[in-house]
Structure 1
Amino acid sequence: MTKAIQSIPYRRIFFCLFGYVLLSERVVVGDPRAQTVQVMCGRQLEHNSTIFVPNFVATMENISEQMRASGFGVAVSGSGPDINYGLAQCYGDLSLLDCVLCYAEARTILPQCYPYNGGRIFLDGCFMRAENYSFYEEYMGPGDKAVCGNTTRKNSTFTESTRQAVSQAVTSASNNQGYAGVQFTVPGTNESAYVLANCWKTLNASSCRACLENASASVMECLPSSEGRALNTGCFMRYSDTDFLNKDPGNGSSRGSIVIIVVSIASSLVVLGLGVSMGVYIWKRRYIMKKRRGYNDAQKSARTLNDSSLNFKLHGESCHTNVEKIPGRKSGGAL
């Protein structure tokens, strides 16, 4: 994302609008867990900016409608090298209202991967990805990693309890449409290990289980730290000694529906603004490049004239030319 685009306070406008709605409606929400864990941008530059940007915005708009209805969405816009595939999904314990809030945050951050044509963002409550190819059945990849929280070092009892909780989550999620939230009491203490496991809904059961098993092996390397997250191509896993799970992922009240509508509109305006900013940036970049080409052409022409064999002298001085004398003619005579 360019400095010009980053300087425009679209996200600030969005959160001001959202704050106003919350105050006016007095809506009580859960925890959307909209904290960013990791943004991973692709390495391939977009092919054609004037086509890529509208395709990306159209994909995000299509997904937004699905997220408001079910907390999950996939969409495809365009064709050829500028085609855009998108996926967004909230984790299974989020209410629909919390989901929309989390997605709104992801939607304003992912465009920062521009001018690369792909990227993914892991938040603690949702996931979003966009690419120029169909990635929906991918469940493992070279970018899979664990992110550990080293705030507290736990004892062996917590470590063993966490291993059991993670194993239980893998089994439960594989048999529960890809989602599981587990609380496992640590023996002899008043604390618990909390685990969330979630696959993307585009995966089948076997791919989901394979992803979670790989994620569990990765996240267990964070122990004895008090918290760890596995960021995999097809799934997300988190354990913690703090209860981060939402207990009642209901769809919310009618006032919550009002917030969903307002937040969706606000986030749409944010992305639209980012799209316009991208367009302005592209136009300015091309204009500058065109001027540079003109300047370079002028310099080249000047060098060509300067290096020319025709060396004219002005102010009454004669032109020096190499004229072959004709035999029998005197210098200066008529030909």
Structure 2
Amino acid sequence: MAISLLSFIILLMAFSIILSLADPRTEIVARICGNVRVQNVSNYFQYYSRITDYMQDEMYRNKFAFKDVGKPPDRLFVLSQCMDDLSPDECAVCFTQINTIIPGCFPNTGGRVYLDGCFSRAENYSFYREALGPHDTTRCGADVNPRPDFRNAVVKVLDEMLIKAPLAGPVWRGFAVNHETSHGITAYGMASCWKILDKDLCYTCLSNAASSALSCLPSTEARVLNAGCFLRYADFSFANESTGEIRGMEDLLLDERLQFLQFKHATILKATENFQEVHRLGEGGYGEVYKGTLADGREIAVKRLYASRDSQIREICNEMDIISSAQHKNLVRFLGCCFTSGDSFLVYEYG
């Protein structure tokens, strides 16, 4: 009886944990595999395991991660991202689920998997800057609503997201949720670019996705699965619109001098070799620190931030303000910042 009671308690606790989560949206939308085979399948599986182990903490903190391991031709590049309306716990559930699906594409060189709550892609080449690709696809729902008011509501939703998502701040970069009503008929939408894309590539991807979604009308639901973004509309609410967007760092910067200390995201990635683990120096307040080398040979230390609350962002901005204006022989010199990716970065002189 004691064993049965203990089992019941464990099951009850597990059920309570599940109930404490909202919907992590782990429904499989599509798995699209490549058609070229890798040379060493065993290495590929090992690389994938190493990468996903590394990415777990990144996904929980940032809902976004990318990493590459190995040498050509079997070098493996992986990018994963959750929709920003998910909580960290929901993202962890979705990421765990999607990790079991991607290896189904091996021994081919890779593929993409879209769940309603997250996305992952693995390839043997660097695809990080791809906004559109030959395998982009659109899934239209079976139910229809031919009323013009539904079309009008969908058009309004897509237009609004196309404006909001590419311009969203660093915390919700490339992400938007929205709903619009036309004469009592409501349409709901969500758009998400992969955070490594800049605003121009994000707009390119979502503009294409919006056009593809409109081709589904009068279907009451559509999903567009592009290389660089995911877009969905429906006649029911499926996203967490109550999660208010945290204001971006640029909204909190009070010292205009800092706008002249902007590093390009590409410069940061090149200097740290896409944040290779070998360059990781350690972890400090609100972020990890990597060593990098600029094109002119200068060595830098890059703090990769994972601020998630207004209070944290304000403290980071205060740090930037103080360090950029202070000069002391024992104080590391602050060189600049970068707010052009899903993560944000502070750049210091290394020494």
Provide the rounded CA distance (Å) in 2 between the counterparts of 1:64 and 1:136.
Answer: 19
Q: Secondary structure at the match of 1:225?
A: coil
Deviations 1:140-194 (A, max 9, x none): 011111100112334111011101110111101011120110110122x2x4110
Provide the rounded CA distance (Å) in 2 between the counterparts of 1:19 and 1:127.
Answer: 30
Q: Decide which structure has greater helix share.
A: 1
Residues 125 and 24 of structure 1, relative CA distance in 2, 3 Å threshold: closer
Provide the rounded CA distance (Å) in 2 between the counterparts of 1:26 and 1:133.
Answer: 37
Residues 52 and 20 of structure 1, relative CA distance in 2, 3 Å threshold: farther
Q: How does 1:83-102 map to 2 (within 5 A)?
A: 83-102=75-94
Q: Secondary structure at the match of 1:222?
A: coil
Q: 2:177 aligns with which of 154, 178, 181?
A: 181
Aligned residue type for 1:31: D
Q: How does 1:136-147 map to 2 (within 5 A)?
A: 136-147=128-139
Q: 1:30 aligns with which of 8, 22, 25?
A: 22
Offset, 1:25:
4.5
Offset, 1:247:
3.3
Identical aligned pairs, as a percentage?
Answer: 36
Q: How does 1:277-316 map to 2 (within 5 A)?
A: none
Q: Specify every segment of 5 or more residues in structure 1 that has no aligned partner in the other structure, as ranges.
A: 1-17, 251-335
Q: 1:240 aligns with which of 230, 234, 251?
A: 234
Number of the residue aligned with 1:168: 160
Provide the rounded CA distance (Å) in 1 between the counterparts of 2:227 and 2:157.
Answer: 22
Give the number of aligned pairs.
231
Aligned residue type for 1:59: I
Q: Secondary structure at the match of 2:32?
A: strand
Matched, 1:214 2:208: yes
Offset, 1:238:
0.1
Q: 2:190 aligns with which of 193, 196, 200?
A: 196
Q: Specify every segment of 5 or more residues in structure 2 that has no aligned partner in the other structure, as ranges.
A: 1-9, 245-351
Check whether the contact 1:95–1:249 (CA below 8 A) recurs between aligned residues: no
Number of the residue aligned with 2:220: 226
Offset, 1:61:
1.2
Residues 64 and 21 of structure 1, relative CA distance in 2, 3 Å threshold: farther
Check whether the contact 2:178–2:241 (CA below 8 A) recurs between aligned residues: no
Residues 167 and 39 of structure 1, relative CA distance in 2, 3 Å threshold: same
Check whether the contact 2:144–2:217 (CA below 8 A) recurs between aligned residues: no
Residues 247 and 143 of structure 1, relative CA distance in 2, 3 Å threshold: same
Return the TM-score normalized by structure 1.
Answer: 0.66
Check whether the contact 2:41–2:106 (CA below 8 A) recurs between aligned residues: no
Provide the rounded CA distance (Å) in 2 between the counterparts of 1:127 and 1:243.
Answer: 20
Q: Secondary structure at the match of 1:194?
A: strand
Q: Which has the higher contact order (CA 8 A, sep 6+)?
A: 1
Matched, 1:39 2:31: yes
Q: Decide which structure has greater strand share.
A: 2
